[in-house]
Amino acid sequence: DAGVIQSPRHEVTEMGQEVTLRCKPISGHDYLFWYRQTMMRGLELLIYFNNNVPIDDSGMPEDRFSAKMPNASFSTLKIQPSEPRDSAVYFCASSWVLAGVGKETQYFGPGTRLLVL
């Protein structure tokens, strides 16, 4: 399996522009997570989906952030309009849960490094 795929790997944009980050989870995984990593706050969970349905978006910082998962193999995280403080590395992760056996292990993509000027 190719693992979790994220695109683009790097994005440089100007303040006010719309940014769309993309993620393809591992086939068969039914959970998808979006994280943001910054020096100040570390790895923060933004939102996660189960079977394409958003379960918890309490980590989404503002209304400027939105995430969708139109099908089991694709998700987007959109920032509109972007601001310099959104500069961070954004990770997508996926997992599955083995019912009655144990707990999830999340598999992370390589991340998208976003710089908003």
Partner 1 sequence: DQQVKQNSPSLSVQEGRISILNCDYTNSMFDYFLWYKKYPAEGPTFLISISSIKDKNEDGRFTVFLNKSAKHLSLHIVPSQPGDSAVYFCAASDSGGSNYKLTFGKGTLLTVNP
CA distance 29 to 63: 28
Query: Binder to partner 1 among 56, 61, 83, 117 (CB under 8 A)?
Result: 56
Q: Does 81 bind partner 1 (CB under 8 A)?
A: no
CA distance 112 to 84: 15
Residue whose CB is less far from partner 1, 82 or 94: 94
For residue 58, give the 3-state DSSP assignment. coil
Query: Binder to partner 1 among 50, 52, 66, 87 (CB under 8 A)?
Result: 50
Query: What are the C-alpha distances in Å from 25 to residues 14, 107, 109?
Result: 28, 9, 8
Residue whose CB is less far from partner 1, 82 or 106: 106
The size of the chain, in residues, is: 117
Q: Tokens 């694709």 sit at which residue?
A: 74
Q: Does 109 bind partner 1 (CB under 8 A)?
A: yes
**In the complex, which residues of this chain contact partner 1 (CB under 8 A)?**
4, 31, 33, 41-45, 48, 50, 55-56, 91, 93, 95, 97, 102-111
